[in-house]
């Protein structure tokens, strides 16, 4: 189990297709089409994210999904935690049940530190930071839906 599951990857890509809070809702179907994430699976995923307070979904006419918080306030850790939970952080790297601080396995200290670095990283990267991320499906979606391009976003940011 790598730190991020495939599903968390899905969540990340999907959320990059959503507008900031108050913006126009986006259809699950539309996101699925562009990203290649299976529709039904994405639907459940979105629901999960909604329960965790990361997105807001509304059904019926003109329904869709929007970010529940500014993208700059959503970290990778939020996504990881919402989808994969935190159990993996506590397991011994070798699956040894008796591996504790007192009776550590050979990789215990090493893994403890690596884990710490991973967490720091997950916390430091926000959804907004992902703009620099190259993802064909997502880029096409954003272009087709009038998102600012990475360059424009950078310029706006510089102005502010």
Partner DNA sequence: ATCAATGAGGATCCGTCGGTAATCTAACGA
Partner DNA sequence: TCGTTAGATTACCGACGGATCCTCATTGAT
Contacting residues toward DNA, per CB under 7 A: 5-7, 10, 25-29, 37-41, 43-44, 46-47, 50, 57-65
Measured CA to CA in angstroms, residue 71 lies from 5, 56, 61 at distances of 21, 13, 25
Contact of residue 147 among DNA, its own copies, none (CB under 5-8 Å per partner type): none
Contact of residue 119 among its own copies, DNA, none (CB under 5-8 Å per partner type): none
Distance CA 77, CA 84 (A): 10
Task: Yes or no: say if 141 and 34 are a contact pair by the CB < 8 Å rule.
Answer: yes
Looking at beta carbons only, is 61 or 132 nearer to DNA?
61
Distance CA 143, CA 120 (A): 31
Q: Which of 91, 112, 155, 157 binds its own copies (CB under 8 A)?
A: 91
Does 2 engage in binding with its own copies (CB under 8 A)? yes
Site for its own copies in 5-44 (CB under 8 A): 5-6, 8-10, 12-13
Say which residues have a Cβ less than 8 Å from residue 65's Cβ, sequence separation at least 6: 18, 25, 26, 27, 28, 31, 46, 50, 55, 56, 57, 58
Looking at beta carbons only, is 23 or 155 nearer to DNA?
23
Say which residues have a Cβ less than 8 Å from residue 22's Cβ, sequence separation at least 6: 66
Binding residues for its own copies, rule: CB under 8 A, are 1-6, 8-10, 12-13, 76, 88, 91-96, 98, 103-107, 110, 114, 117-118, 121, 125, 129-130, 132-136
């Amino acid at each position: 189990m790598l730190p991020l599951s495939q599903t968390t990857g899905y969540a990340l890509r999907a959320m990059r297709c959503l507008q900031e809070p108050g913006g126009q809702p986006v259809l699950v179907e539309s996101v699925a089409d562009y990203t290649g994430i299976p529709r039904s699976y994405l639907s459940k995923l979105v629901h999960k994210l909604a329960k965790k307070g990361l997105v807001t979904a509304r059904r019926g006419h003109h329904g869709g999904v929007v970010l529940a918080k500014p993208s700059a306030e959503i970290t990778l850790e939020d996504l990881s935690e919402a989808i994969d939970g935190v159990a993996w952080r506590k397991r011994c790297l070798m699956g040894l049940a008796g591996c504790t601080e007192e009776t550590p396995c050979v990789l215990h200290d090493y893994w403890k530190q690596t884990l710490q670095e991973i967490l720091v990283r997950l916390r430091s990267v926000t959804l907004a930071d992902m703009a620099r991320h190259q993802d064909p499906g997502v880029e096409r979606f954003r272009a087709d839906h009038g998102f600012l391009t990475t360059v424009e976003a950078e310029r706006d940011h510089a102005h502010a």
